[in-house]
Amino acid sequence: MMYGGCHTTYRVQRVGHQLCDRSGYGPPKNFFYTQVGMSCLFNSLGRLLAQDPQGLRQEICNYLAAGSPIMDGMATADVLTLESGLPAEPYIARMRLSQTWGGAIEIQACACLHSARILVKNLRNHGQKDMEFLPLSGSVTKTLTVSWNGGHYEPVA
């Protein structure tokens, strides 16, 4: 399935929102991070892009703050509010914190920023299709793959 078009992106974001804790309180006590105090999503994408995870997080937040598109036919601020229940500004401020988990919104922004096709292998799907995030421009220069086990992202080389 392609995610990145008008309605399908929203479906992935709903799934991503349900899977990720955006409360800012961090992960459960038994959760493992690849880098202490950082979100595994930004660690994984940063590793695949050869970028500092915190720098990538800020780049993605800047993209969202500028209102750059993540979904056809809907303003980015409206997507953030719909998904989080928060206005865009506090959502982005919280996402800038290293302990806040990222999800589908941030994956889609990363796909747009880096002209990347990002595949998320959901290890809980048991044979179902992977989630695919595409840049809205349609121009893909690289493919990145991460796995998701329901509580943790890992880069897939």
Lowest mean pLDDT among 6-10, 41-45, 84-88, 143-147: 6-10
Alpha helices, DSSP H, located in the chain: 6-19, 40-49, 53-65, 76-84, 88-95, 104-113
Transcribe 15-44 into DSSP letters.
HHHHHS--SSS---TT---SSTTS-HHHHH
- What is the spatial distance between Cα 12 and Cα 105, in angstroms, rounded to a whole number? 9
Helix, coil or strand: residue 141: coil
Q: What structural domains and CATH numbers belong to the chain?
A: 6-21+37-156 (3.90.70.80)
| Cα four-point dihedral sign 69, 74, 77, 82 | negative
Task: Please write the tens of the pLDDT for every residue from 63-75.
Answer: 999 999 999 999 9
- Name the pTM for this structure: 0.76
With beta carbons less than 8 A apart as the criterion, state whether 72 and 136 touch. Answer: yes
